[in-house]
Amino acid sequence: MSNRYKVLKDIFGHNSFRELQEEGVDAILSGRDLLMILPTGGGKSLVFQLPTLMMDGITIVVSPLIALMQDQVSALKAQQINAEMISSAQSYAEVDEIIDRLHEGSIKFLYLSPERLNNGNTLNLLASLNINFFVIDEAHCISQWGHEFRDDYRALGNLKANFPNTTIAAFTATSTDNVTDDIMRELKLNNPLLLKGKIFRKNLFISAQRRISNGHAQLTNFLSRHKDESGIIYVSSRKKTEELSAFLNINGYKSLPYHAGLPQRVREQNFKIFVNDNVDIMVATIAFGMGIDKSDIRFVVHMSLPKSQENYYQEIGRAGRDGEDSEVLLLFNAGDIVLHKRFLNDITNEEYKKHLDTKIDKIYKYATSEICFHKQLAEYFDDELDACVDRCDNCLNSDDKREDITKEAQMLLSAIYKTNQGFGKNYIIDILRGSKEQKLLANGADKLSVYGIGLALSKKEWFVVVERLLELKIIILGEYSVLILTNDAIEVLKSLKTVDIKSSRLQINVKEKNVKQVKEFDYDEDLFESLRVKRSELASEMGVPAYIIFSDKTLKHLANDKPFDKDSMLEVNGVGEKKYEQFGEDFLGVIND
């Protein structure tokens, strides 16, 4: 067994590498720059942690959030690996003590924020250390075309100038081809190995519904399938985090709010309560999230439309990091688009504003489409995927009753044609509904044969028809979002092609979702619960989150395999020599009892 396989088993407890992990480890060990794009839960951390344990010197990890750094440092320390962070959350005395240990060479991982690393004093400190390589976590933050661009990340492009002979390994879960090129260019990576995993996460079931009123009825219907499970609910404002959290607590759920307006002490406290399993649900704005390392989150709900598919993919990625079956729900309505686009008015760079405007349109199209949700995400990130069959609402309920809307489509296409393909959807729909708007009358729209022929549908229903025609590429959006006819539109107008739609898209209601569960193997559920209790006790004693000891998946393997001694326990995936030394006897005691 090569050294890396021994470290993989003894330290990390895994019997084999996951997809692309070994290639990433080998690149770092050989001193080659690396950019790894791997979905959340794919095991990016191991790719840089394992090589460090086989190399002399210290690894510098650049990470965007203090809470994230604290989480990862705690996880390494729980594995008896020397790791520290330097941040504004520490006193001068604490920082001085860490610097002394750095010079002694007793620390293997040092976590820094990009702001801290770009400081002149920090660069002088790093120049005096034996650095084996740099890690750039959440590397998409370096690209202005990504969804979480930060100026301090952009400055990391100076690393190669300051440390020309040191390898850089960059990691992210979300990156389109444009963002990927931007990351490599800005970091000035030297002949980097690019490893890009598949976007599809088969353990996630995705569904989307139009939000009715405030969405609370749909939410509680969803939560009834997830009693006593960990989850995150994303809302659009600070006020809504506290209102929804209060609503859930009144209705028997255990939740806490999290937003940037809370005092830092309260945010940190709420974060710890959640990751330590003392409440089930975190109701949060997007201030909560990047890099959350809690592996047993079983669901993520969005109460409104995210800003982009990058945001959405990153946020749903927090569910099911342990590979276990998890579910995500998106609630939305057209008003969410209006709100997002209102914020674009403050942006002066017209090119960037147009870029963000397109992202908003695409996430709305994603939510309203009948195409497999996983397939749409893959295509957005320049990946290819067949329809998932049973891991999203669109595929699982693809046999829903359908309605022929060819006649309505012909009305709308005729209106577009008769107005010379020069207007957007609101104008066209107003014509069909016989609006008395002054602009229409001034243009003579009331003289058109299509004026007022569409009163049988509401304005919202006409919007759905437009969405369906865009989805089928019967019409496309031109400059300034005007509606343009394609060749397929001519066939529809000539009755050579029909158009249909799921009836449910024109009937806004709350439906029970028939979610197919994924279960890889059977296990003793009573024993699993007993093991969870023991894990919770040990986590409380150590002051660390429970998942740092063993993941739910490892506990399920233990409850299935029922090892009876050290040798049989070390055969279980997720248990290595280090973990056995720390916790083996405790868990064997539960199993043998």
Q: Which fold has domain 204-396?
A: Rossmann fold (3.40.50)
Token look-up 């008003």 returns 335
Residue 29: Cβ-neighbour burial (10 angstroms; 0-12, 13-18, 19+): middle
Q: State the chain's mean pLDDT as an integer.
A: 88
**pLDDT value at residue 213:** 82
Q: pLDDT class for 147, splitting at 50, 70, 90? A: low
Higher pLDDT, 241 or 290: 241
Q: pLDDT class for 512, splitting at 50, 70, 90? A: very low
**Residue 109 Cα distances to 13, 37, 48, 94, 159, angstroms:** 20, 22, 10, 16, 18
State pLDDT tens for residues 99-112: 999 999 999 999 99
**pLDDT value at residue 540:** 83
Q: Which CATH architecture fits 525-592?
A: Orthogonal Bundle (1.10)
Q: pLDDT class for 132, splitting at 50, 70, 90? A: very high
State pLDDT tens for residues 37-68: 998 777 889 999 999 999 999 999 998 877 77
Within 13 Å and on the Cβ side, how many CA atoms surround 421? 12
**Cα–Cα distance for residue pair 299/319, rounded to 1 Å:** 5
State pLDDT tens for residues 174-187: 888 888 999 999 99
State pLDDT tens for residues 6-45: 999 988 888 899 889 999 999 999 999 999 999 877 788 9
Q: Which two tokens stand for residue 147?
A: 């969804």
Q: What does the domain layout of the chain look like in residue ranges?
A: 3-196, 204-396, 402-506, 525-592
Give the alpha-carbon dihedral of 248, 250, 253, 258, to 10 degrees.
50
Backbone region of residue 389 per phi and psi (left: phi > 0; alpha: psi in -120 to 50; beta: other values): left
Token look-up 């919770």 returns 536
**pLDDT value at residue 424:** 92
Q: Is the pLDDT at 532 greater than 80, yes or no?
A: yes
**pLDDT value at residue 552:** 84
Q: Is 498 helix (H, G, I), strand (E, B) or coil?
A: coil
Produce one character per residue of 95-128: b if its CB has 16 or more CB atoms within 10 Å, e if not: eeeebeebeeeebbbbbbbbbbbbeeebeebbee
Mean pLDDT of 105-121: 91
Same fold, 3-196 and 525-592: no
Is the pTM higher than 0.85? Answer: no
Mean pLDDT of 280-309: 86
**Cα–Cα distance for residue pair 461/134, rounded to 1 Å:** 53
| Of 405, 407, 448, 406, nearest in space to 427 by CA | 448
Are residues 298 and 323 in contact, defined by beta-carbon separation less than 8 angstroms?
no
Q: pLDDT class for 89, splitting at 50, 70, 90? A: confident
Q: pLDDT class for 509, splitting at 50, 70, 90? A: very low
Q: Is the pLDDT at 400 greater than 90, yes or no?
A: no
**pLDDT value at residue 1:** 41
Q: How many CB atoms lie within 10 A of CB 169?
A: 28
**pLDDT value at residue 399:** 63
Between vectors from CA 382 to CA 376 and to CA 383, what angle results, nearest 5°? 70
Mean pLDDT of 418-445: 92
As a whole-number percent, the residues of the chain with pLDDT over 90 amount to: 49
State pLDDT tens for residues 463-481: 889 988 987 889 988 887 8
Q: Is the pLDDT at 291 greater than 60, yes or no?
A: no
Largest CA distance in the chain: 87
Q: Is the pLDDT at 537 greater than 60, yes or no?
A: yes
Q: Which CATH architecture fits 3-196?
A: 3-Layer(aba) Sandwich (3.40)
Which residues partner with 75 through β-bridges?
none
Give the alpha-carbon dihedral of 426, 431, 436, 437, to 10 degrees.
30
**pLDDT value at residue 3:** 87
The class of domain 402-506 in CATH terms is: mainly alpha
State pLDDT tens for residues 328-369: 999 998 778 878 888 888 888 888 888 888 899 899 889 988
**Cα–Cα distance for residue pair 33/195, rounded to 1 Å:** 11
Q: pLDDT class for 522, splitting at 50, 70, 90? A: confident
Q: pLDDT class for 573, splitting at 50, 70, 90? A: confident
